[in-house]
Amino acid sequence: MNGIFTDEALQQKFNEEGYVILDLLSDDHLETLRKLFFEHIPDYKNEDLYESSRNRPDEINDLLNDRMQEIFKLALHPYSGDNPIFGGTFLVKPAYSKNFLPLHQDWSIVEEDRYQTAFIWCPLQETNSDNGGLFVVPGSHTFFNNRKSGSLPSPRVNFNEVIRSHTMNLTLKPGQAIIYSDNLFHGSGPNPSDNPRIIATARIVEKGAPLTYYQKQDDDKIGVYYFTKDNYLNGIKYLAKGEVPPGVKPAYYEDDHNQVINESTFTAKLTGQNIETQRPERSQQQQSMSNPVINFFKTYTPANIVREIYYRLQSKDDHAQKVGEFYDRHHLDFMEVYGDLIQAFRTTDIEKILDYEFESIGLEDGMTVLDAGCGVCRPAIHFSQKANLHIKAISISKSQIEHANSLIASSSANQIELFNEDYHQIDKVFHSGTFDRVYFLESFGHSTQKKRLLQSVWNVLKSGGSVYIKDLFARKTGNKADQKAIYEEINKINNQYHYQVAELSEILDTAREIGFVIEFAKTIDIRLEDFENLTISNKFQELTGIYKIESFENYIFPVDFIELKLYKPAFNIEEGKDRYFLQNLLLQNQSK
């Protein structure tokens, strides 16, 4: 192993700490990158963690890759010589992003016993703990020698007091770059600031290293596969699922020596304890493989390695699975406190809020309706008793589905069908144009892929149908200190409830981009004397300790409860781009 730096002292520091920080880019290079970003990345506000390579068309990605590689190759040549530069993408946390990336490692893409590779992370503005800056655990790249891939997932490590005390928050000036090992444990915080946090990234690979993928074969063996850049790109859909593309054969096999990585074993490495870190027993391995979790990986564009850099690709099923496990684990707690209606914003007499929701959703006899995140189906049962509805109810929680089955059996509601599924998959579970109405009653916020979710809703709605969302949204204020405190509280909610409290403006923008028309977006209109005043949430916190507020002295309430209704037009608005929307409606009605 020769390393990736030509300077001996720099290479030694990289070997010891797992990263180095360089004053890398000139003002001219920074200005070029900023111009590239603002000219070609107009949609960066769409996601809490935005990656240009996953969102821009191929020709734009190729342009960005070529220009960024050219800049980084020139800037790094004095430090790294002829070692190749791959990739080139922008990673963005827009203003007020709540995204938090816990400590994690990245995929193995070379034979790490023989070669080195490192990620280049270069901010276009100062980054620190106040705007989504990077944090690292120095030296942690030596803790575990695990292979990491789609079939060998690298877990996230949550903070405890010991881990936090060994974690370093980095402050980087514009043009500085941290170059860190794929094995270094690192993460980044939310960006509650007014401005986007923009990072230019690429990868440096030791010269001569073949692109490598590690595939778990069985409980004892790992297959080692070599890929060309194009083959890696073409096979990325398989690799992301923990599979190998058809017809690809391993170059060789090696024994599986992966160790358990979690809060306990990571803490033991920090404190020098000698505890068991060997890989799990067979039953645990089989359980893990039956539901693989892909936490993070990076890949590269076709001009280099592959089309996309996935800085953080958690398995699409992972978060939903954790939501299901959360509700399964606390099912009896929810039933004890909330009863059959798991909603925080409610009336003392729950019939009143259910009647209100019935009217707001716009339910009528004969409709086919989807209850997305149905809980134990108390709303669905109530609605079916007020109108002749065909209701499909979906929940990721097995305990909720079992409880809902018993409630439905003891009621007069006989047209409710239950599905134990991830609601992001509704357009795979149901046919296109199935539903007149889709509703989310304080369940929408559990999604970390809201654009994908709304697109799935669009697909299963009939033309002329609508989706109703009642949920909590991030509160906004003109006071910067208060806004920062709000996002800190929201981050606690997100972490403890497996939630992602949404920004109202982002949801409305996303819905309009998909094609929805906004019928209304407003606070929930119930009489103040009927409001339950959220005391039920406080009872749940007291019972479980989840998001328990120790003192209200300086507490700032972080959310607004808002209801949205979005309409799927009954005609193709693309055919009337020159007209105001209401003119299109008038034209449609006149043509009937």
H and E: helices and strands count for the chain: 20, 20
- DSSP for 58-95, written as a single string: HHHHHHHHHHHHHHHHHHHHHHHTT--EEEEEEEEE-T
pLDDT of res. 107? 85
Give CA–CA dist 505/510, Å, rounded. Answer: 9
Tokens of residue 464, six digits? 């002329």
Alpha helices (H) in 125-262, listed in sequence order = 161-165, 229-234, 236-240
**Strand pairing of 168-169 and 134-136?**
antiparallel
Residue of 121, 130, 139 lying closest to 183 (CA atoms): 139
Give CA–CA dist 202/121, Å, rounded. Answer: 7
Give CA–CA dist 48/96, Å, rounded. Answer: 8
CB atoms within 10 A of CB 140: 25
CB distance 86 to 136 below 8 Å: no
Give CA–CA dist 34/37, Å, rounded. Answer: 5
Residues 572, 576, 579, 584, CA torsion sign: negative
Give CA–CA dist 449/183, Å, rounded. Answer: 27
Residue of 536, 542, 540, 493 lying closest to 333 (CA atoms): 540
Give CA–CA dist 573/569, Å, rounded. Answer: 7
Tabulate helix, strand, coil % of the chain (nearest 5).
35, 20, 40
Residue of 36, 38, 32, 8 lying closest to 20 (CA atoms): 8
The residue to which tokens 């304890």 are assigned: 273
Alpha helices (H) in 245-341, listed in sequence order = 263-271, 282-290, 318-329, 331-338
* Sequential pLDDT tens for the chain (592 residues): 678 999 899 999 999 999 999 999 999 999 999 999 998 888 888 888 888 887 788 788 888 888 999 999 999 999 999 898 887 889 999 998 888 889 999 888 888 888 999 999 999 999 999 999 999 999 999 999 899 888 898 888 988 889 999 999 999 999 999 999 999 999 999 999 989 999 999 989 898 888 889 999 887 899 999 887 656 655 666 787 788 888 888 999 999 888 999 889 999 999 887 655 555 443 333 333 334 333 333 333 333 333 333 333 333 456 788 899 999 999 998 999 899 999 989 999 999 999 999 999 999 999 999 999 999 999 999 999 999 999 999 999 999 999 999 999 999 888 999 999 999 999 999 999 999 999 999 999 999 889 999 999 999 999 999 999 999 999 999 888 888 888 888 888 888 888 989 999 989 999 999 999 999 999 998 888 888 876 776 777 776 676 666 666 778 889 999 999 999 988 766 666 666 666 666 655 655 5
**Strand pairing of 211-216 and 176-181?**
unpaired
What number of residues does the chain have? 592
pLDDT of res. 230? 58
Residue 227: CB partners within 8 Å, gap ≥ 6?
Answer: 210, 211, 212, 213, 235, 248
Secondary structure class of 536 (helix, strand, coil): helix
pLDDT of res. 589? 61
Angle of helix 318-329 relative to helix 331-338, nearest 10 degrees, comes to: 60
pLDDT of res. 287? 39
CB distance 227 to 209 below 8 Å: no
Give CA–CA dist 280/288, Å, rounded. Answer: 10
Tokens of residue 588, six digits? 């449609």
Give CA–CA dist 4/205, Å, rounded. Answer: 7
Give CA–CA dist 138/167, Å, rounded. Answer: 7
Q: Most distant CA pair in the chain: distance in Å? A: 79
Residue of 252, 249, 211, 203 lying closest to 230 (CA atoms): 211
Phi, psi angles (nearest 5°) of residue 70: -60, -45
CB distance 229 to 304 below 8 Å: yes
CB distance 429 to 419 below 8 Å: yes
CB distance 243 to 43 below 8 Å: no
Residue 221: CB partners within 8 Å, gap ≥ 6?
Answer: 253, 254, 255, 256
Give CA–CA dist 290/169, Å, rounded. Answer: 36
Residue 89: CB partners within 8 Å, gap ≥ 6?
Answer: 51, 52, 53, 61, 64, 65, 68, 201, 202, 301, 308, 309
Rg, Å, the chain Cα set: 26
Give CA–CA dist 567/580, Å, rounded. Answer: 16
